[in-house]
A and B are shown apart, each in its own frame.
Chain A
Amino acid sequence: MFGHKTCKNGHINDSSWDVCPVCISPVCGWLVVMNTEHKNKVFTIHEGKNKFGTGIDCEIRILMESISRHHALFISKDSRYYLSDLNSVTGTYINSRQITSEEIIDNDIVKLGDVEFKFKCL
């Protein structure tokens, strides 16, 4: 009654929503964890805005120490993908280069805090 409602994929939803807005959006890519104990874990990226972070309002929740509450924003628009840093403490990197906002392409290595991901687009 007082907790959060979650969909079967673990996305946190508002109690008034009958469907998960993340799950109904078409998939446009994946982020695969390359290191840490979560190696090979896959995060699905959907069309539109995808917020990365530990916060419950993030579409992609990555519960790791080095990730900020609102760490980065992934936007998919017209088959092009952009990654922006949201003033995170540990920074956002694409191919070992710290960025504030930049386009991202297939097979890029994304680093959020200490966690490295490989981006695969559809």
Chain B
Amino acid sequence: MIKSIKFILILILFCSYLIDFNIFSEDLTKYESISLRIDQIISDNFPNVFAYVSVYNNMDNKPLHSLLKSNFIVYADGKEIQSKINAENFYYTEEAINYSVIISSNGLMSGFPIEHQQKACVSLMESLREQDRISLYLFGEEVKTVFEFEKKNETLLEKISKVEVLGFNPRLYDVLIYTARRFSENKIKRKIIMIMSDGREVGSKYNKEQVLNILSETNVPVYSIGMILMNKNNLNRIASISDNTGGGYIYTWNIEELPAIINILNEQIKMSYLLKFKINKIKPDDQFHQIEIKVKYKGEEAGFVKNFIAKKIPVPLWFKIIIALLFVLIFIGLIILLFASRKISRKKLGISNRKCTVCKRRMKDDWDDCIFCRHLKVKNKKKKLILNN
């Protein structure tokens, strides 16, 4: 009896040892110091795929600048792709970014929180490049557009300063769907939604599932900054949206930090990598597939999985029209050629337009009378003869 109790105690001690040293959670610790996030996958020109990838240090959320294409491994539907991966630092591509900033302007935010959100927005606007665009939306009881797809300019500062409280209930899901839909009207490839919120959601027409579906269809990552005003219970809501869409998430107790946090996130966005590769093993079928991108750097490893659509490239309308026109022209040409060749061959045979009035057959020009009528019993001739009689 004592022996068995001893054995159970030893077993319990051994198990606690394993748990303490995280032997079971080895995979989780593997990704501890660096993180990778796939912001956006562009597969409009499938099998050529572009992926915007942010790699950053977990300690300070600062992006890693010095990665090479050899640091990245791409898996498509679980299989490593064989084609070359081209990795560029996004900052040097000078590609434009289309930011949509969402400010939480419900009643609880009035005063200090809304001021710091405005400051964060101004701070982001100041860091914009010439080619970037910015939009600002507010949400409370309703969703309001302050400005849309604007270049960096000073008149926006005034608009930002006039942000007002819009009722009490924050319609978080509604504003995300509204913003994602507004993006579809803009041609800039890289799209970012940045939302500052305490995570509360009251009275939206849409639910979380619909939000995630639409964000997935529009292929926009949501970067969120969680503000802890009363408690942090609601922050999971925006954190999970960011996780699902490939955006970053940082929360703070100190609302004064909002401008600094938005700059950290923006730096992650700007200092991301643009990976270009070709997926040959998947056929374009307009279905969702999975891409996993891993990064290996100084013995550290991080990865992220995201869905993308293997888009079938539709045949452009102008190309269809050209092909149809070519077919019509070839058809008309053949008909013309047929008639022309018949006319030419008849001319060579010495036949013009002369036809026998009785049998209606074409006659050679040098025939005095119709040879067919002379030597054949023609039905028409018979009929005519009967009529004459």
Contact = CB atoms under 8 A, between A and B. Distances in A.
B345 interface: yes
B62 interface: no
B372 A24 contact: yes
A56 B349 contact: yes
Q: Is the interface of B mostly helix, strand, loop or mixed?
A: helix
Given A2-B338, A2-B341, A21 B371 contact: yes
A19 B375 CA distance: 11
Given A2-B341, A56-B348, A14 B375 contact: no
A48 B366 CA distance: 11
Interface in B328-365: 337-338, 341-342, 345-346, 348-351, 361-362, 364
A46 to B, nearest CB: 9
Contacts of A25: 371, 374-375
Given A4-B345, A57-B349, A21 B366 contact: no
Contacts of A57: 348-350, 364
Contact of A17 (B338, B362, B374): B362
Interface string A1-45: 111100000001011110101001110000000000000000000
Nearest to A15: B342
A14 B371 contact: no
B349 A12 contact: yes
A19 B373 CA distance: 12
27 contacts: A2-B338, A2-B341, A4-B349, A14-B346, A14-B349, A15-B342, A16-B361, A16-B362, A17-B361, A17-B362, A17-B372, A19-B372, A19-B376, A21-B364, A21-B371, A21-B372, A21-B375, A24-B371, A24-B375, A25-B371, A26-B375, A48-B374, A49-B366, A51-B366, A56-B348, A57-B348, A57-B364
Nearest to B367: A49
A100 to B, nearest CB: 18
Nearest to B372: A21
Given A4-B345, A49-B366, A57-B364, A14 B372 contact: no
- Chain A interface residue bracket vs B: 20 to 34
Contact of A1 (B338, B371, B375, B376): B338
A25 B362 CA distance: 16
A57 B367 CA distance: 12
Contacts of A49: 366-367
Closest 5 CB pairs of A and B: A57-B350, A21-B371, A2-B341, A24-B375, A57-B349
In this complex, the member of A1, A14, A17, A19 whose beta carbon has the largest number of chain B beta carbons within 10 angstroms is: A14
A14 to B, nearest CB: 5
Contacts of A14: 345-346, 349, 351, 362
Contacts of B367: 49
A12 B338 CA distance: 18
Interface of B: 337-338, 341-342, 345-346, 348-351, 361-362, 364, 366-367, 371-372, 374-376
Contacts of B364: 21, 57
A64 B361 CA distance: 32
Nearest to B346: A14
Nearest to B364: A57
Contacts of A48: 371, 374
Contacts of A55: 348
Contacts of B362: 14, 16-17
A25 B364 CA distance: 15
B367 to A, nearest CB: 8
A49 B346 CA distance: 19
Contacts of A2: 337-338, 341
Nearest to A22: B371
A17 B346 CA distance: 11
A19 B376 CA distance: 10
Nearest to A18: B361
A32 to B, nearest CB: 25
A21 B350 CA distance: 14
Interface in A57-83: 57
A19 B342 CA distance: 18
A55 B361 CA distance: 22
A15 B346 CA distance: 9
Nearest to A21: B371
A25 B375 CA distance: 6
Nearest to A59: B364
Nearest to B340: A2
Nearest to A56: B348
Contacts of B346: 14
B355 to A, nearest CB: 9
Contacts of B374: 25, 48
